[in-house]
Amino acid sequence: MEMKAPLVAAGIFLLGLVLLAVGALIEPPRPQISQSGESLIALGLTFIVVGVGFFLAWANPTA
* pLDDT given at position 2: 67
* pLDDT given at position 7: 87
pLDDT tens for the chain, residues 1 to 63: 567 888 888 999 999 999 999 998 988 777 777 788 889 999 999 999 999 999 888 888 776
* pLDDT given at position 22: 93
How many independent structural domains does the chain possess? 1
11 vs 5, 47, 62, CA distance in Å? Answer: 10, 10, 23
Q: Rounded to an integer, what distance in angstroms lies between the CA atom of residue 15 and that of residue 47?
A: 7
* pLDDT given at position 6: 86
Which domain, by its residues, includes 12? 4-25+34-59
